[in-house]
Structure 1
Amino acid sequence: MTDRVNVDENGIWLTDSGRRFGYPWSEVRGAGISVLLLPPDAKRLITVEVDHVSGDFLSITDGLEGFKEAVEALVARSGGEPPNLATLSPEDTVSIALVGESPSA
């Protein structure tokens, strides 16, 4: 099965080799978007780290199916506007403030 990220009314979920895992909204504290330039040819990699109440985190990369839609959904939950992923640079840090919510919120 294709690696995929999905954001729904219950939380944020990854599917990897048919296994689904992630965090419900009540356990999510925030997220951050960053850009890395990978050697040797400075290939861009965009990542989102979703912070869990335990201090753990879920790392999501732009190679996953549904990445752009997941970023848009995360930012929408915070009440903000999604950044233009194509123009982000390594110097840009995007913080997404999320307060844990119950699944019925």
Structure 2
Amino acid sequence: MNIWIAIGATVVGCYLVKLAGLLVPAGTLERPRVRRTAALLPVALLAALTAQQAFADGRVLVLDAKAAGLAAAAVALLLRAPFLVVIVAAVAVTAGLRALTG
């Protein structure tokens, strides 16, 4: 029964967060600092999630094939490669290193 309590609390919490967003006055959302923060927040969250997935294994810092694939993708982006090439480079490097260290 505890799982249903957790699910119900999550549902109520999500609804309240959405409601709180709708209740913010429009004047507050028009401020330049709020606009800059709102524009940068998704990028910062995505970067944090990517770093956590690439460099962490629980509470331990790990440099493995995932980190090498991410580095390959970064190099491809710096060379202004098309997005599909970036993905293929990351996958190829990650798969190659996993096959070698297997």
Q: TM class, shorter-chain normalised?
A: under 0.3
Query: TM-score normalised to the size of structure 2?
Result: 0.21
Asked which structure has the greater CA Rg, the reply is 2
Q: Which structure has more strand as a fraction of its residues?
A: 1
